[in-house]
């Protein structure tokens, strides 16, 4: 049994797990693009050009939600089905692969990982992978089904949709929400439902559960049964940071848009708060909007830029550099300011190499975003606030837009395609590649200290 599991392990190229992930996404994108180019994928029956199909396929499989054509009017039912399939595959794929990679890192480094009960082995077997896949699928389908039912009931009961239409709308938006994909079957996203808590709240719950990430949700579900043991560091950091950013985002959007006559201004108090809350959740990279972002104050856009860049939880359907990476850097700075030689977080010590990996992921992300913004500014005629928002939305796989996506020239849309791909797979594969790598240095040079600051 042990022998068979070792052979199974060797069959996958574990030394470069990132390549498997990237190859999988490339194949999925190619198939999705080909299917979307078929004439009967569109409502008009005309074949779609390569760039539009490619952009849509990447946006769907990377669960971003940026669109160059209007989803409900441009695509046929078949086209929408392809998009929904790509979202589901992309979401399940990233959740599974990121969880397996995190488990692999934990095992290799001999750390406790809270996906399963503590095991003694330092290697990862096929059995572990199967349990992750089964867990992810079980969690995803359960959540999606529950939210789909709630939404379908509301669509049928309140909006008088025929039964099967209500079911279809419920399933589509549940899958899109849980996978933080942001695709909607309404041309104005969720703006028409801005004041309907029975639509917004199930969607917010699906977004948060998908966005916290499988390791966190899986531990929370198991812990509920066996009380007394403390949560893992990763779960505590993720829940606290995700929650804190949700509050900061909601309060900031509510305050900065309170008097804006084109957004929150006309709403009454409790609808202001509901919409404010939903717009605090969405930059955790879900990408639905219940307000028109083209009318947002520049202040709100910039605050959203920061929140979208940070993103959601690791090994979930959210994007960005991840709340864990952000929190880890914040704790490093706090320790440095306090003059502590090692970094203590909630009663645990952070390994030095994890600090350097967080730094690397965050600063490379800044570099990618700045480079892409400069490039997109150069090839388009939009203002910095719109372009920066679009770039971070693509990189963070958020899908919110001030409305410029379709108007960006082809070369700019290619930049967005690259950003979605890099943003979806970059932080995950880079962090695990960094952690898993052999460290071959066999000599040391004399130390010398340059001046800092």
Q: Which of 174, 217, 315, 408 binds a copy of itself (CB under 8 A)?
A: 315
What span, in angstroms and rounded, lies between the C-alpha atoms of 96 and 214? 8
What span, in angstroms and rounded, lies between the C-alpha atoms of 435 and 328? 15
Is residue 215 packed enough to be buried (19+ CB in 10 Å), middle (13-18) or exposed (0-12)?
A: buried
Q: Is 378 in the site for a copy of itself (CB under 8 A)?
A: yes
Q: Is 109 in the site for a copy of itself (CB under 8 A)?
A: yes
Q: Is 311 in the site for K ion (CB under 5 A)?
A: no
Q: Is 351 in the site for a copy of itself (CB under 8 A)?
A: yes
Nearer to K ion, 67 or 171 (CB): 67
Q: CA neighbours within 13 Å on the CB side: how many for 430?
A: 19
Select from a copy of itself, K ion, none the partner in contact with residue 355, using the beta carbon and a kind-dependent cut-off of 5 to 8 Å.
a copy of itself
Residue 451 Cβ, how far from a copy of itself at the closest point, in Å? 4
State which of positions 48-107 bind a copy of itself (CB under 8 A).
102, 105-106
Long-range contacts of 271-274 (CB under 8 A, 24+ apart): 271/194, 271/195, 274/194, 274/195, 274/197, 274/200
Q: Is 407 in the site for a copy of itself (CB under 8 A)?
A: no
φ, ψ (nearest 5 deg) of residue 348? -130, 160
Residue 450 Cβ, how far from K ion at the closest point, in Å? 23
Q: Is 22 in the site for a copy of itself (CB under 8 A)?
A: no
Map residue 123 onto helix, strand or coil. coil
Give the binding range for a copy of itself (CB under 8 A) out of 116-124, 128-136, 231-239, 270-278: 231-239
Residues near 197 by Cβ (< 8 Å), separated by ≥ 6? 274
Q: Is residue 64 within 8 Å of 413, Cβ to Cβ? A: no
Q: Is 406 in the site for a copy of itself (CB under 8 A)?
A: no
Q: Is residue 245 within 8 Å of 285, Cβ to Cβ? A: no
Q: Alpha helix (H) ranges present in 311-409?
A: 323-338, 352-379, 384-395
Give the binding range for a copy of itself (CB under 8 A) out of 119-127, 163-171, 242-250, 294-302: 294-302
Residue 117 Cβ, how far from K ion at the closest point, in Å? 33
Q: Alpha helix (H) ranges present in 37-122?
A: 50-61, 71-74, 77-108
Residue 272 Cβ, how far from a copy of itself at the closest point, in Å? 18
Residue 192 Cβ, how far from K ion at the closest point, in Å? 20
Nearer to a copy of itself, 2 or 452 (CB): 452
Residue 161, by phi and psi: left (phi above 0), alpha (psi -120 to 50) or beta? beta
Give the binding range for K ion (CB under 5 A) out of 20-28, 242-250, 394-402, 414-422: 394-402
Give the binding range for a copy of itself (CB under 8 A) out of 87-95, 124-132, 149-157, 433-441: 433-441
Q: Is 156 in the site for a copy of itself (CB under 8 A)?
A: no
Nearer to a copy of itself, 126 or 434 (CB): 434
Residue 89 Cβ, how far from K ion at the closest point, in Å? 15
Give the binding range for a copy of itself (CB under 8 A) out of 184-192, 283-291, 297-305, 407-415: 297-305
State which of positions 194-223 bind a copy of itself (CB under 8 A).
213, 215
Q: Which of 325, 401, 405, 413 binds a copy of itself (CB under 8 A)?
A: 325
Nearer to a copy of itself, 7 or 441 (CB): 441
Q: Is residue 199 within 8 Å of 227, Cβ to Cβ? A: no
State which of positions 273-292 bind K ion (CB under 5 A).
285, 287
What span, in angstroms and rounded, lies between the C-alpha atoms of 191 and 174? 17
Select from a copy of itself, K ion, none the partner in contact with residue 142, using the beta carbon and a kind-dependent cut-off of 5 to 8 Å.
none
Question: HEC string of 19-43?
Answer: HHHHHHHHHHHHHHHHHHCCHHHEC
Nearer to a copy of itself, 48 or 218 (CB): 218
State which of positions 56-95 bind K ion (CB under 5 A).
65
Q: In angstroms, how far is the first alpha carbon of the chain from the final one? A: 57
Tell me the two tokens of residue 105.
Answer: 């890192």
φ, ψ (nearest 5 deg) of residue 344? -100, 130
Nearer to a copy of itself, 176 or 432 (CB): 432
For binding to K ion (CB under 5 A), which residues are involved?
65, 180, 182, 285, 287, 399
């Amino acid at each position: 049994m042990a022998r068979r599991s070792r052979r199974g392990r060797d069959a996958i190229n574990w030394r470069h797990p990132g390549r498997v992930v990237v190859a999988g996404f490339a194949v999925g994108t190619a198939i999705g693009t080909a299917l979307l180019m078929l004439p009967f994928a569109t409502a008009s029956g005309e074949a779609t050009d390569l760039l539009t199909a490619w952009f849509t396929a990447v946006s769907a499989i990377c669960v971003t939600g940026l669109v160059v054509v209007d989803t409900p009017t441009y695509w046929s039912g078949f086209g929408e089905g392809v998009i929904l399939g790509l979202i589901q595959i992309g979401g399940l794929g990233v959740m599974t692969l990121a969880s397996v990679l995190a488990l692999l890192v934990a095992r290799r480094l001999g750390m406790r990982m809270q996906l399963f009960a503590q095991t003694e082995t330092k290697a990862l077997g096929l059995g572990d992978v199967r349990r992750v896949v089964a867990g992810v699928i079980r969690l995803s389908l359960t959540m999606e089904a529950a939210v789909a039912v709630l939404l379908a009931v509301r669509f049928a009961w309140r909006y008088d949709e025929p039964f099967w239409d209500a079911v279809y709308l419920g399933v589509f938006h549940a899958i899109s929400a849980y996978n933080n994909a942001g695709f909607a079957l309404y041309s104005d996203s969720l703006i028409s439902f801005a004041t309907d808590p029975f639509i917004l709240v199930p969607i917010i719950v699906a977004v948060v559960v998908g966005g916290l990430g499988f390791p966190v949700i899986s531990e929370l579900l198991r812990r509920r049964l066996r009380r007394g043991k403390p949560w893992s560091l990763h779960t505590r950091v993720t829940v606290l940071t995700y929650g804190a950013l949700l509050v900061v985002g909601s309060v900031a959007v509510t305050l900065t848009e309170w008097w804006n006559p084109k957004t929150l201004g006309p709403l009454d108090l409790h609808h202001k708060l509901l919409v404010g809350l939903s717009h605090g959740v969405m930059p955790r990279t879900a990408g639905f909007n219940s307000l028109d972002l083209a009318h947002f104050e520049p202040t709100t856009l910039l605050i959203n830029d920061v929140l979208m860049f940070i993103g959601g939880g690791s090994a979930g359907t959210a994007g960005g550099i991840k709340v864990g990476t952000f929190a880890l850097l914040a704790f490093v700075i706090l320790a440095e300011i306090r003059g502590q030689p090692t970094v203590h977080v909630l009663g645990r010590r952070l390994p030095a190499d994890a600090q350097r990996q967080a730094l690397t992921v965050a600063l490379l992300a800044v570099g990618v975003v700045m480079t892409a913004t400069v490039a997109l500014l150069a090839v388009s005629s939009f203002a910095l606030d719109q372009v920066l928002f679009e770039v971070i939305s693509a990189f963070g796989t958020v899908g919110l837009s001030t409305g410029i996506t379709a108007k960006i020239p082809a070369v700019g849309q290619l930049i967005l395609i690259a950003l979605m791909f890099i943003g979806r797979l970059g932080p995950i594969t880079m962090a695990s590649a960094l952690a898993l790598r052999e460290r071959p240095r066999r000599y040391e040079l004399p130390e010398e200290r340059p001046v800092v600051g």
